[in-house]
Structure 1
Amino acid sequence: MLRIDYRESDRRACLSWDADDERADWLDALRRLVFDRSEDASQEDAWRISLPWWGFAALRPHLFQIFGGYGLAPGRDIVVSDAASALLRQSRRAVDSHEAAKNALAVPEGDLRARLREIGFGRELSPEQARNVGRIAALPAAATFSVPGAGKTTEALACFFYRARPEEDLLVVAPKNAFAAWDEQIADCMPGVDDVFVRLRGGRDKIARALDDEPRFMLISYQQLARVPDLLAAHCARRRVHVFLDESHRIKSGSGKMTARAALNLSHLPVGKLIMSGTPMPQSTEDLVPQFQFLYPEIPATADNVVELIRPVYVRTNKAELGLPPVTRQMARLSMAPMQAELYKLMKFEVAREAATALSIPSRQAFRSLGRSVARLLQFVSNPSLLSSEIGFAHPDLLAAVLAEGDGPKLKYVLKRARALAREGRKVLVWSSFVRNVEYISARLSDLGAVFIHGGVDAGDEEDDETREGKIKLFHDDPNTRVMVANPAAAGEGVSLHRVCHHALYLDRTFNAAHYLQSEDRIHRFGLPPDQDTTIEIVECMDSVDETVRERLGYKIGQMAEALEDSSLKPDPIALDPTDIEDADEYSTGLAREDIDVLLRDFAGVRR
């Protein structure tokens, strides 16, 4: 007999059977299904396996096929505990609600605005926001994929206050740099509410004490959630909580990573769910799968069907609807310095060998190692001196010759261009994906008051010039601070510079489309006057990995535009100037398997 139970202590489904069932054909089929489909399944003893409840819920259709195929009948061959039965009924309702979403009627705009006025909502929603909130407020689980600056936070709060009962709470999972925006928005949106967001941080004991006070509004970072998933799950189980994931593409890795697994393990507990991202699929449609699983864990989703599954439950305001003036993108294509080009050829062949190995013998370790090698190649093209600190570099004599050539051509161009723009009275934003580049450029442009932001810059008081907020304030308010240098991984979210800066220089880019799109949006977002020119200037070395990055970013952005039916996402063609311009700590490069295929093709000199 098969027994199905829900273990509340760790939110797992437990499947157990009798010793007499060991030779049953259905048991082999059950084991294969569970272990093939769940990365977090566990054989707990000889007659028991377990897996996260959300993962079990997603297997329901396949389990029913096994039960039917082998003639297993409830009550006779299968026993389901009361706790599991209640959750299975909840799962059935969720499946039905997703099906109903295809034809669900949005909350009428007049009713929505009247209700928000009645409860004291202080913001007047734009027509696009009212359309979006009316749609997501009609659903128990939904997504808003509006572009940065369109007011996703306002939409989320309007949805919560429209739907929530007085005894219901809100838990927001967000990057730390978005916390201030939630504080500001709730004060503006609900000025009559005395409660503020309680920040869940400071370690396990402090978070537990904060939850004991039963705050109505809670903020926690993705990193902190991964450390205390049991505390948050227990809280959501005993309280009525809405859970919103801000920048939800942070869970795109799925159950294989602690952060995503912690969020997914909450998925069957909230009374309402919302995911929020302007770049929900930075790599491919597979990025949408974990996000949809958070919303509807009961419905099996794959890269092949997730776009159709999520379409009925998401809303989006695009840049065209915001009336933003178009962005101008320019390309500066440079030749590598002679010795730099020679060393690049050797490094390229070494990376190609490593890439071929990673594809033929795939493993997580091989992929990570390749990611580091590709990052090093990107670093070398942007600034050869970044390799000078490497111990045991394979070609020390050639590297010495490269360093004797001085700053690489891209770095020379960016420094010269930033100075020229500053002389014209403009403020300039310089992007590099590498921390040492960020600090080096800032130091070289210190006479222009340059400030920098990367992951090592702490958040804090804006009156402190050494904090993230302090540096942003200097760039906004101090006329002598002409340049900001930033890392897209650290400053691609939660930073608005569009009121003072209209020209960005990219020393380098990676394969991470989310980082690139979000970094662009720092200076090209809602609030720009219709006649404002915004210029994005991208610096590349010809015949280098830079060209592969450009191709792959274009492909990924195009895929997202197609999935979201948003033509405003498609990158504008960049006119390439064939004229050579002579004086012109590792993090994720966003590398995917398809990127490796194209990289190998380009290294072999075969371009489409």
Structure 2
Amino acid sequence: MLHIEYLADKHSARIITDDEQYIGWHELCRLCKENGEDVSFDTTKTINMPWWSFLSTRPLINRLIRKHKIKLTADEEATRLLKLSLSRENRYRQAGEGHQEYSEDEIKILLAEKGFQRTLTPQQLRNVTRLTSLPAGATFSVPGAGKTTEALALYCLKKVENTRLLIVSPKNAFAAWEETLSICMPDSPNVVRLRGGSRNVAQLLQDKPEIMVITYQQLPNVLTEVGSYLSTVPFFMFLDESHRIKRGNSGVYGRAVLSLAHLPEQKLIMSGTPLPNSTEDLVSQFNFLYPEVKVDKDSVVGHIRPIYVRTTKNELGLPIPRYFFTTVQMSPAQRRLYNLMRDEELRQAEIILARDRNKLRTMGKSALRLLQVASNPSLLADSDFQHHELLKDVLMEGDSPKINYVCTRTRQLASEGKKVIIWSTFVESIEQISNRLSDLGADFIHGGVDSGSEDESDTREAKIKRFHDDPNCFVLVANPAAAGEGISLHTVCHYAIYLDRSYNAAHFLQSVDRIHRLGLSSDQETIVEMVVSPDSVDDSVDRRLTNKIHVMSDVLNDDSIMIEPEYSDEEIDNGLNEDDILDFINHLRGQ
């Protein structure tokens, strides 16, 4: 006989056998080890695994139980959670058949009866109507389409007395949730920010908050406290910018989120860029929604299609941005340094390829170094760099050609009265450009700039407000990783310049969306200029970003995220996951 226990403190399943003959047991152990995540064996008679992983393995376990005619029992909580899982799985199957619980007119009436104040757009109404029929769903609408409003409408429609809501979100989106809640549900209790150490969070939870928001970074640190509280009440769980759990159980954020995946009565994931690298990014997000439905990178697209909604930029009537490349040649000394480093990195890459392909990911640092040399070699000055004589020659030339061009181009635009946002991956480059353009009122945002009040001069919010309101502030220099989310600049800025770009498609797309979003007039042109050095790692970055964006466009059936840049120099070929690294190695080889 097999017995299943639910271990509430670990959010895990324990499978126990009391069969002295071990009929089918060793086969079960092997099955769980091969198909589950984080499987462990305390004794020769017990198997432990996260509950969400147990749910995904359950169909295989059931098949084995039937094969060997093994009797199965479960404790009370395991039985309840299994019934909840079966219900969710059945409703997922119905979603694939196009089942819809309410009409759009019925949703409008229900929202009015429940006191929801904001009038939904036609696209929002369509999306909410679809999501209401699902126990777990996804909204992949573009920034500015109102995903937060859709989420709160779903919460308003489906909550009952004592329902709690946990929102996992980037810190810079907290204010948007609070503001949207105050508009949509003005009589609702305030959002409680779960922050501080475990003791402080435990104290906040003692007040039994109704709506809570927590960052992806914080959740793993207070998982016990949050899990204990939510295990006692019915609750919904929404993931804002859900692509942040793309690493799944192998990442800290994904592991924490997935450990709670079996508990919520309603789940929602939200992202405008749900697969920044490949379709594999969707697997962990789908696992959160439906852990009982087994998927992999090859099947996940077909499985997620019935349960996601998306409003496209075309539906919002946004004019298509104009993308173009400006090529800037490296200086002779910079080119000598770049070629030397490229040859050295190629030798290392060939050794890795010959000996152990599993170490390919270590090449990410190599790509980063060449990005630095191509855009701003002075970034290497304070590093443990062995070619100091060559670097000295480069630094004697002053600012890099790329930085000189970006500053010159920005001054030209400012003289025409245009505000400009400049993007770079590197903090030192951001501050350097901001310093060079200080006479234009330039300011900067990167990961070292704290969030806070608009009234504090050095906060992220104060810098954004100044860029909006100060007619003498023409330039904002920022890092897509720090400022690519939660900022709207489209009312004052219509020109973006990229000193460099990384291989991260989400960072690129979301940074463009800061100036290209709902609210633009139909005759307002948005211009995105990418500064590249020919025959450099910039070529590899562009190829990989283009590929990722095309894949995302195909999966989401949305051609409005396609990017077809124009080239200012037609002689230039218009043309980090493992594919990124392999493309980077091809660049090292001169291919």
Q: Is the 8 A contact 2:322 2:565 kept in 1?
A: no
Corresponding position: 1:605 with 2:587: no
Q: Is the 8 A contact 1:5 1:84 kept in 2?
A: yes
Q: CA deviation at 1:29?
A: 2.5
The answer for the alignment partner of 1:73 in structure 2 is 70
Corresponding position: 1:262 with 2:256: yes
Distance 2:401 2:18 in 1: 71
Q: CA deviation at 1:164?
A: 0.9
CA deviation map 1:537-587 (0-9, x unaligned) = 00000001101100100100100110111111111242341479xxxxxxx
Aligned residue runs from structure 1 range 316-465, under 5 A: 316-359=310-353, 366=359, 369-391=362-384, 393-465=385-457
Query: Which residue, 142, 149, 155 being the options, matches 2:150?
Result: 155
Q: Is the 8 A contact 1:255 1:261 kept in 2?
A: yes
The answer for the alignment partner of 2:4 in structure 1 is 4
Identify the range of structure 1 (493-502 vs 40-49) with the bigger mean alpha-carbon deviation.
40-49
Corresponding position: 1:523 with 2:515: yes
Q: Name the TM-score, length of structure 2 as normaliser.
A: 0.96
- Specify the SS of the correspondent of 1:223: coil
The answer for the alignment partner of 1:213 in structure 2 is 207
The answer for the alignment partner of 1:583 in structure 2 is none
Change (3 A) 1:21 1:455: farther
Distance 1:444 1:41 in 2: 55
Query: Which residue, 172, 191, 196 being the options, matches 2:186?
Result: 191
Aligned residue runs from structure 1 range 26-105, under 5 A: 26-69=24-67, 71-74=68-71, 78-102=72-96, 103-105=98-100
What residue ranges of structure 2 are gaps of 5+ in the alignment? none
The answer for the alignment partner of 1:585 in structure 2 is none
Distance 2:70 2:27 in 1: 16
CA deviation map 1:118-165 (0-9, x unaligned) = 222121111001000111011110000000000000010011101111
Matched AA of 2:315:
E
Q: Is the 8 A contact 1:465 1:474 kept in 2?
A: no
Q: CA deviation at 1:232?
A: 1.6
Change (3 A) 1:358 1:493: farther
The answer for the alignment partner of 1:467 in structure 2 is 459
- Specify the SS of the correspondent of 2:123: helix
Matched AA of 1:528:
L
CA deviation map 1:15-44 (0-9, x unaligned) = 22358356x5x3333222222333422222
Q: CA deviation at 1:444?
A: 1.1
Q: CA deviation at 1:266?
A: 0.7
Distance 1:30 1:445 in 2: 65
Distance 2:256 2:137 in 1: 19
- Specify the SS of the correspondent of 1:385: helix
Matched AA of 2:220:
A
Distance 2:43 2:444 in 1: 54
The answer for the alignment partner of 1:140 in structure 2 is 135
Q: CA deviation at 1:355?
A: 3.6
CA deviation map 1:57-97 (0-9, x unaligned) = 0001121232234x1322xxx43333322222222111111
The answer for the alignment partner of 2:236 in structure 1 is 242
Matched AA of 1:596:
I
Change (3 A) 1:568 1:45: same
Aligned residue runs from structure 1 range 119-138, under 5 A: 119-138=114-133
Identify the range of structure 1 (534-543 vs 91-100) with the bigger mean alpha-carbon deviation.
91-100
Identify the range of structure 1 (496-505 vs 373-382) with the bigger mean alpha-carbon deviation.
373-382
CA deviation map 1:455-499 (0-9, x unaligned) = 111100101120000000000000111100000000000000000
Q: CA deviation at 1:318?
A: 0.4
The answer for the alignment partner of 1:13 in structure 2 is 13
Distance 2:230 2:351 in 1: 45
Corresponding position: 1:174 with 2:172: no
- Specify the SS of the correspondent of 1:90: helix
Distance 1:36 1:350 in 2: 40
Q: Is the 8 A contact 1:132 1:155 kept in 2?
A: yes
Distance 1:479 1:125 in 2: 34
Q: Is the 8 A contact 2:36 2:57 kept in 1?
A: no
Distance 1:203 1:286 in 2: 33
Q: Is the 8 A contact 1:450 1:483 kept in 2?
A: yes
- Specify the SS of the correspondent of 1:20: coil
Distance 1:424 1:8 in 2: 63
CA deviation map 1:334-357 (0-9, x unaligned) = 221112111112212333344445
Distance 1:375 1:3 in 2: 51
Matched AA of 1:592:
N
What residue ranges of structure 1 are gaps of 5+ in the alignment? 581-590
Q: Is the 8 A contact 1:168 1:242 kept in 2?
A: yes
Distance 1:434 1:93 in 2: 48
Distance 1:376 1:569 in 2: 29
The answer for the alignment partner of 1:587 in structure 2 is none
How many corresponding residue pairs? 587
Q: Is the 8 A contact 1:333 1:578 kept in 2?
A: no
Query: Which residue, 186, 196, 201 being the options, matches 1:202?
Result: 196
Matched AA of 2:264:
P
The answer for the alignment partner of 1:286 in structure 2 is 280
Q: Is the 8 A contact 2:488 2:515 kept in 1?
A: yes
- Specify the SS of the correspondent of 1:42: coil
The answer for the alignment partner of 1:252 in structure 2 is 246
- Specify the SS of the correspondent of 2:20: helix
Distance 1:32 1:99 in 2: 29
Q: Percent identity?
A: 48
- Specify the SS of the correspondent of 1:502: strand
Identify the range of structure 1 (255-264 vs 366-375) with the bigger mean alpha-carbon deviation.
366-375
Q: Is the 8 A contact 1:39 1:256 kept in 2?
A: no
Change (3 A) 1:359 1:314: farther
Q: CA deviation at 1:408?
A: 1.6
